[in-house]
Structure 1
Amino acid sequence: MISYKLFEYGKPLQRVESDLPEVGENEILLRVKAAGVCHSDLHIRHGAYDLGNGRQLSMADRGLPLPLTLGHEIAGTVVQTGAKVTNIELGRNYLVYPWQGCGTCAMCTAGHENLCPTANRSMGVYQQGGYSDHVLVTDARYLIDIGDMDPTEAAPYACSGVTTYSAMRKFDADIFRRETLVIYGGGGLGLMAVRIAKALDCPRIVVVDPDVRKRDAALDAGASTFISANGQSSAEDIRAAAGGRVYMILDCVGSSETVEQGLSLLAKGGKLVQVGLFGGHVDVPTPSMPLGVKGYQGSYVGSIDETKALIALVRDKQIPQIPTTTRKLEEANEALENLANGSAVGRQVLVP
């Protein structure tokens, strides 16, 4: 099989040709039909998260194995199953749930493997991922039947989709259906959030991004307003677009600037949920949180049940696909560079 692996942090991926892996009794081998390119892949290639104030969280310290095949947004066709695998059809397309934990702790057994505190087996992070023409999945419970859905459409729901879906479920449901949602970031994650928020009946959505090239994509996705973050009056513009008071902010960027501005914008009882990992550091006046009854919560991907619920929502509401550029597998490095320099609009998906 052909895979694109990271051998050294900060360096381009390398093409590797190898034998197909042996399939264990509980395992499933898929021929990859689509693998989404995510900002987390950039962080992994870089080798660290920026913690602000000159500090970093290195991937080596997190225990990531090199060489590593990147790619955690994976959809593919089953070509081989282990002897003990049941209810999985050869030749059928599935979405892979990549956020796998130890499988035995309280969080994992409750269905929240993405919150596993003692171990992590996430694909494309700790296990080999989808920048390949084949991928091995450790258990049938991680496969979600997508039927006749296009794999290039389905693949991004394994990360950008379930990340934004899970984050929006952390807002009060009544407030969500009544107030304006402000989204920082108009990239693939932000556009996915707009689509899903519309399907969840959020009445107004404001997208904030410094790149005006993303304006049309945001408005086409269903945003009520697009605001350039470069404007001197952007804070006032955001508040005005939200009807005078901001109760919900979904931060798909996660920089010092977006979090600090977002917390300052929140009305009494408002909440900011951060999913972006751009990096930085914020100083928060501690009395402002209880006095403003403000909420600030991080949200990391989502559970397998949330992923299944999202796929059902996509089918039920016929959520349109966000702008997607398909690229050949051998263009993996070019796709990462486009993501890094901000020239990609929507999602890029590698197709072997």
Structure 2
Amino acid sequence: MKSFQVVDFHAPLQEVDRPTPQPEGTQVLIKVKAAGVCHSDLHIWEGGYDLGHGRKPLSLKDRGVSLPRTMGHETVGEIVAFGPDVKDADKGGLKIGDVALAYPWLGCGKCPTCLGGDENMCAIKPNALGVYCDGGYADHMTVPHPKYLLNLKGLDPVTAAPYACSGVTTYSALKKVEKDFDTPIVIFGAGGLGLMALSLLKAMGGKGAIVVDIDARKREAAEAAGALATVDGKAPDALEQLMKKAGQPIRAAIDLVGNAQTTQLGFDCLTKGGKLVIVGLFGGGATWALPLIPIKAVTIQGSYVGNLRETQELLDLVRAKKIPAIPVTPMPLAKANDALVNLQKGQLVGRAVLTP
């Protein structure tokens, strides 16, 4: 089995060859067909998050992320083998040869949060594939149980792989502002998540979104994907542009970037009683004037990926509404390091997807 691993934070990925694992217990072995390269992978590669205000960066090592690690949490694969403890009732209709999306946001599986269906929020022992366990930057991968494999039923593996993260992340964030879909919402960031959000918003019945990005190419991509309007986040009058283009009070904003500038603009653009949902992890510190939070009665909510149920809902929505795929750039597995560097430099529009 060939994989590309983080062996040292900030260091180039290392190619590793080792025997292909055999599934144990309830594990399932899949042959990887597509693995998305996500911005979260950059944080793993770099080893942490910028917390701003002079604070010590949040170290992934301190959070239990050990090296070496094969990244890749947006993975589609063909089922090759089931472990000896997998019973027919566990398979949910899956069989050898089926192509499935691997749900990656696993927890301990035993705490009340996990048992309630929100493994992505587990605080006891997170076990996310490609983060705490080896993931899809490889030609094979093991998944702990068949319930985490969602049959693609004909969806293209390369364009479907991002649904495991950028898809379910934006779907879950959009659900948090669904009551405001009758008005234009604001979306910060027109990368893979932003373009995904535009497609999903339309399919979910939303009026549309004004997209903010500092990259002209990405704003063009957002317009092509159906944005109502776009705004350059660096423009000195960005706030005035947002208010004018919305044409009415802005009740909801989703920040897929998550830095001091975007969260401040997201907060400022909201009317009284509005909601800012923060998804992005670029980092930094908040700059809000605290008295304005109660004065405006705004809600500031974080949104972390999504649960298994939401991922299945998303795939069902994609099929039912025939949602167009976001732009993807297929790259061979051997180019995993190049894909990360391109993403780090902001040179990608949409998503890079590794294809072993």
The residue that corresponds to 1:317 in the other structure is 321
Which residue identity does 1:273 align to in structure 2? V
Question: CA separation in 1, counterparts of 2:326 and 2:345?
Answer: 20
1:147 to 2:148 alignment: no
Which residue identity does 2:17 align to in structure 1? E
User: Matches of residues 41-80 of structure 1 in structure 2 within 5 Å?
Assistant: 41-55=41-55, 56-80=57-81
User: Matches of residues 266-305 of structure 1 in structure 2 within 5 Å?
Assistant: 266-305=270-309
The residue that corresponds to 1:24 in the other structure is 24
The residue that corresponds to 2:8 in the other structure is 8
Question: CA separation in 2, counterparts of 1:290 and 1:229?
Answer: 26
The residue that corresponds to 2:126 in the other structure is 120
User: Matches of residues 129-148 of structure 1 in structure 2 within 5 Å?
Assistant: 129-148=135-154
Question: CA separation in 2, counterparts of 1:190 and 1:148?
Answer: 25
The residue that corresponds to 2:252 in the other structure is 248
State the Cα distance separating 1:16 from its structure 2 match: 0.2
State the Cα distance separating 1:315 from its structure 2 match: 0.3
Deviations 1:163-196 (A, max 9, x none): 000011111x3322x1111000011111111111
The residue that corresponds to 1:40 in the other structure is 40
Deviations 1:285-319 (A, max 9, x none): 33322221201000000000000000000000000
1:195 to 2:199 alignment: yes
State the Cα distance separating 1:251 from its structure 2 match: 0.2
| Local SS of the residue matching 1:51 | coil
User: Matches of residues 80-229 of structure 1 in structure 2 within 5 Å?
Assistant: 80-85=81-86, 86=88, 87=91, 88-171=94-177, 173-176=178-181, 178-229=182-233
Which residue identity does 1:167 align to in structure 2? A
Question: CA separation in 2, counterparts of 1:4 and 1:54?
Answer: 33
State the Cα distance separating 1:220 from its structure 2 match: 1.6
Deviations 1:205-253 (A, max 9, x none): 1110000011221112111111111211111001111113211101000
Deviations 1:5-51 (A, max 9, x none): 00000111000000011311211000000000000000110111000
State the Cα distance separating 1:330 from its structure 2 match: 0.4
| Local SS of the residue matching 2:114 | helix
**Is the contact between residue 32 and residue 75 of structure 2 (CA under 8 Å) also seen in structure 1?**
yes
How many residues were matched structurally?
350
State the Cα distance separating 1:132 from its structure 2 match: 0.2
Question: CA separation in 1, counterparts of 2:70 and 2:48?
Answer: 17
Question: CA separation in 2, counterparts of 1:270 and 1:165?
Answer: 19
**Is the contact between residue 327 and residue 351 of structure 2 (CA under 8 Å) also seen in structure 1?**
yes
Question: CA separation in 1, counterparts of 2:47 and 2:337?
Answer: 15
1:239 to 240, 243, 257: 243
Question: CA separation in 1, counterparts of 2:189 and 2:289?
Answer: 25
In the superposition, the TM-score normalised over structure 1's length comes to 0.98
State the Cα distance separating 1:332 from its structure 2 match: 0.4
| Poorly superposed stretches of 4+, deviation over 4 Å | none
**Is the contact between residue 239 and residue 268 of structure 2 (CA under 8 Å) also seen in structure 1?**
no
**Is the contact between residue 330 and residue 355 of structure 2 (CA under 8 Å) also seen in structure 1?**
yes
In the superposition, the TM-score normalised over structure 2's length comes to 0.97
| Local SS of the residue matching 2:51 | strand
| Local SS of the residue matching 1:249 | strand
Question: CA separation in 2, counterparts of 1:293 and 1:53?
Answer: 25
Q: Which segments of 5 or more consecutive residues in structure 2 lack a partner in the other structure?
A: none
Q: Aligned-residue CA RMSD in angstroms?
A: 0.9
| Local SS of the residue matching 2:348 | coil
Which residue identity does 1:250 align to in structure 2? I
Question: CA separation in 1, counterparts of 2:85 and 2:289?
Answer: 56
Question: CA separation in 1, counterparts of 2:163 and 2:176?
Answer: 18
Q: Percent identity?
A: 47
Question: CA separation in 2, counterparts of 1:36 and 1:269?
Answer: 36
**Is the contact between residue 201 and residue 208 of structure 2 (CA under 8 Å) also seen in structure 1?**
no
Which residue identity does 2:280 align to in structure 1? G
Question: CA separation in 2, counterparts of 1:175 and 1:183?
Answer: 13
State the Cα distance separating 1:53 from its structure 2 match: 1.9
Which residue identity does 1:76 align to in structure 2? G
Question: CA separation in 1, counterparts of 2:36 and 2:206?
Answer: 26
Which residue identity does 1:276 align to in structure 2? G
Which residue identity does 1:44 align to in structure 2? I
Question: CA separation in 2, counterparts of 1:35 and 1:256?
Answer: 30
